């Protein structure tokens, strides 16, 4: 049986149908995704001032959580700053666990963690945007002044609280020191707090 050209669709007809189908498919636009998260929340659109909730960044008009800090490295670095070389392994392990937990709970970003990891001293830590392990000099000075007032110390004598307040102006205390000072109930107890 011989085929005739009339029974075979022409190349022009096939091409026209293909172009029409492709054109129709291209004209269809996907519906805009509806945001499921609230404004400023994770995976939600950014606010009009390009801000998001705490701990989130506005990238491409979407609030996203930045990569987290390497809390194990942060703990190792802080251990080198706050613990002496001869601290027992158990103390170091407990310190590392506490710092890792605090780091995770604080939601430190990779950039925050990098700043802490680069730190070589307490002063370097204090310069970081979100430091860990440091004491608050205002709380320390207020408590030391309260102890000074309640212990009836001669106003002209230099007391441990005076030295402590002066030192706090030039150095950065540890949180352990702050805890010790706030627990002190006398000048003698204050003097026993290790910086």
Nearest to 173 by CA among 130, 138, 148: 138
- In a shared domain, residues 52 and 76: no
CB–CB of 78/133 below 8 Å?
yes
Nearest to 82 by CA among 132, 11, 150, 10: 132
Least confident of 35-39, 65-69, 70-74: 35-39
- In a shared domain, residues 54 and 96: no
Higher pLDDT, 85 or 12: 85
- In a shared domain, residues 142 and 187: yes
Q: Which domain holds residue 58?
A: 39-66
Number of domains comprising the chain:
3
Residue 5 has pLDDT above 80, yes or no: no
The reply to whether 118 falls in a domain is yes
- In a shared domain, residues 56 and 78: no
pLDDT digit string (tens) for 77-128?
999 999 988 889 999 999 999 999 999 999 899 999 999 999 999 999 999 9
How far apart CA 102 and CA 79 sit, in angstroms, is: 14
- In a shared domain, residues 46 and 79: no
The reply to whether 158 falls in a domain is yes
The reply to whether 160 falls in a domain is yes
- In a shared domain, residues 95 and 141: no
The reply to whether 29 falls in a domain is no
The reply to whether 83 falls in a domain is yes
pLDDT digit string (tens) for 134-174?
999 999 989 988 888 787 666 677 777 788 888 888 889 99
- In a shared domain, residues 101 and 115: yes
Question: Would you list the DSSP string of 107-152?
Answer: T-BHHHHHHHHH--SHHHHHHSSS--SB--HHHHHHHHHHHHHHTT
Q: Which helix (H) or strand (E) holds 58?
A: strand 57-59
- In a shared domain, residues 60 and 78: no
What pLDDT, on the 0 to 100 scale, is given for residue 28? 52
Give the number of other Cβ atoms within 10 Å of residue 116's Cβ. 27
């Amino acid at each position: 049986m011989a085929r005739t050209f009339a029974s075979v669709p022409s190349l022009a007809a096939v091409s026209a149908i293909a172009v029409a189908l492709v054109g129709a498919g291209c004209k269809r636009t996907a519906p805009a995704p509806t945001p499921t998260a609230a404004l400023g929340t994770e995976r939600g659109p950014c606010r009009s001032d390009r801000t998001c909730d705490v701990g989130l960044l506005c990238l491409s008009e979407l609030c996203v959580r930045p990569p987290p800090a390497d809390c194990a490295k942060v703990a190792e670095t802080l251990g080198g700053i706050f613990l002496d070389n001869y601290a027992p392994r158990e103390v170091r392990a407990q310190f590392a666990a506490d710092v890792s937990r605090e780091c995770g709970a604080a939601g430190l970003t990779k950039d925050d963690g990098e700043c802490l990891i680069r730190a070589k001293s307490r002063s370097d830590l204090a310069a970081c945007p979100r430091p860990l392990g440091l004491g608050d000099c205002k709380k320390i000075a207020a408590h030391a002044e309260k102890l000074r007032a309640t212990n009836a110390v001669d106003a002209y004598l230099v007391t441990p609280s005076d030295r402590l307040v002066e030192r706090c102006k030039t150095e950065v205390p540890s949180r352990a020191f702050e805890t010790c000072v706030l627990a002190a109930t006398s000048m003698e107890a204050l003097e026993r707090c290790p910086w």
